[in-house]
A and B are shown apart, each in its own frame.
Chain A
Amino acid sequence: MSEEFNLSANQLDALREIGNVGAGNSATALSQIINRRIDMNVPKVALVPLDTVPDLVGGPDTIVVGVFLRVYGKAPGNILFLLPQKSAFYLVDTLMGKKHGETEKLDFMDESALMEIGNILAGAYLNAFFTFTQISMLPSIPALAMDMAGAILNVVLVQLGQMGDTAMVIETEFLSEDDGINGHFFLVPDPGSLETIISAVGVE
């Protein structure tokens, strides 16, 4: 499977740039919703062994809230927005106009709000992808789970696991200005999709 992922430095740069603009769109959207500045790091674009992916978010038994969306279209894949439990509660407090620290578990409305955030972030992100690649990609309706990071990431990794032992991940970390929220946004293209994306960008 490795031949599929023999990307040149330029191609990796191109992916990083797409990820950067996509995440920038998402960060702006999130910042407008919660009315706070959101910073983000330069996206990591990396081919990582499957079993190390949970370490990117603090280890497989870290409790996180994950919003998962399947991406349909010519370059299918998965989007996963992961928030440490504390950040997710903080975000819910902010969205629902509650005092910080008030949310201690997620009720139906809270989950719905977080899924909507996932939806908006994914939409903003995929828009950037479309601008660069002219490949139209549509997100599914979101699904949410609060659980161990390893268990949630399983969903994404299993599909890749059928094809090989590594995952191409485009990952961005978000951080709100008051440090209350940090989240990880993952775009994990299905194995065949990466080629489609790369050839659409036209970088050798």
Chain B
Amino acid sequence: MPDLIRVGMADYKVGQSPATLISYGLGSCIGVSLYDPQTKIGGLLHIMLPDSTQARASDNPAKFADTGFPLMLKDVLKMGASQSRLVAKIAGGAQMFAFANATDIMRVGARNAEAVKKILKDHRIRLIAEDTGGTYGRTVSIDLTNGAYKVKTIDKGEKEI
């Protein structure tokens, strides 16, 4: 596979066809992909938490949905993507351990998904596919040759959304 670019936790990468951006082992985290089908430019963001304003100061804005997404957006636009053509796909946001008295922090996956959807709406980016929730981990990748967003789980194998 040409140009497999790994995106770590609380990180994002942008690129152009024929690169593939991949992020391994997401639990409650969410992988947000952006893709411009015409220029074949895109990005993948791996966020951990919904909201930077509810956390203590961090050196790493890519950790949060609200601060990470604008950074990735800026970078794909800088590379030549057009905001009106950009489409988003998201996956992740699981709750890995089921506790009867799940605290807020245990439900962070669902809160991450909500936060990501809100920020996409705020930036008027269309969300065209989603695979969130559940109780299992995911490895996600976006193939920038065609925008295919692949989600791999240990029980269900790989699927494209």
B2-30 Cβ-contact flags toward A at 8 Å (1 or 0):
00000011110000000000001111110
- CB within 8 Å for A154 and B56 given contacts A50-B9, A51-B11, A147-B137: no
Q: Is the CB of B10 within 8 A of A152?
A: no
In the bound complex, CA of A171 to CA of B94 (Å): 25
Is the CB of B54 closer than 8 A to any CB of chain A? yes
Q: How many residues from A make CB contacts under 8 Å with B?
A: 32
In the bound complex, CA of A161 to CA of B29 (Å): 11
New A-B pairs, 17, CB < 8 Å, besides A50-B10, A152-B96, A154-B48: A51-B11, A143-B99, A148-B139, A150-B24, A150-B26, A151-B27, A151-B96, A151-B138, A154-B26, A154-B27, A154-B96, A155-B28, A161-B48, A161-B55, A161-B58, A162-B105, A165-B10
Within 8 A of B (CB), among A139-162: 140, 143-155, 157-159, 161-162
Q: Is the CB of B10 within 8 A of A145?
A: no
Q: Is the CB of B56 within 8 A of A155?
A: no
Which of A68, A161, A163 has the most chain B CB within a 10 Å cutoff? A161
Q: What total of A-B pairs shows CB separation below 8 Å?
A: 105
- How many B residues are at the interface, by size bracket? 20 to 34
Within 8 A of A (CB), among B118-161: 135-139, 154
Binding site for A on B (CB under 8 A): 8-11, 24-29, 48-49, 54-60, 63, 94, 96-99, 105-106, 108, 135-139, 154
Question: Which residue of B is nearest A191, CB measured?
Answer: B56
Q: Is the CB of B25 within 8 A of A148?
A: yes
In the bound complex, CA of A140 to CA of B60 (Å): 32
A63-85 Cβ-contact flags toward B at 8 Å (1 or 0):
10000101000000000000000
- A154 CB contact (under 8 Å) in B29, B57, B99, B154: B29
- A155 CB contact (under 8 Å) in B27, B60, B139: B27
Q: Is the CB of B49 within 8 A of A152?
A: no
B-contacting 9-mer, from A12-20, A54-62, A122-130, A193-201: A54-62
Write the nearest CB–CB distance from A1 to chain B, whole angstroms: 6
Write the nearest CB–CB distance from A196 to chain B, whole angstroms: 18
Question: Which residue of A is nearest B139, CB measured?
Answer: A61
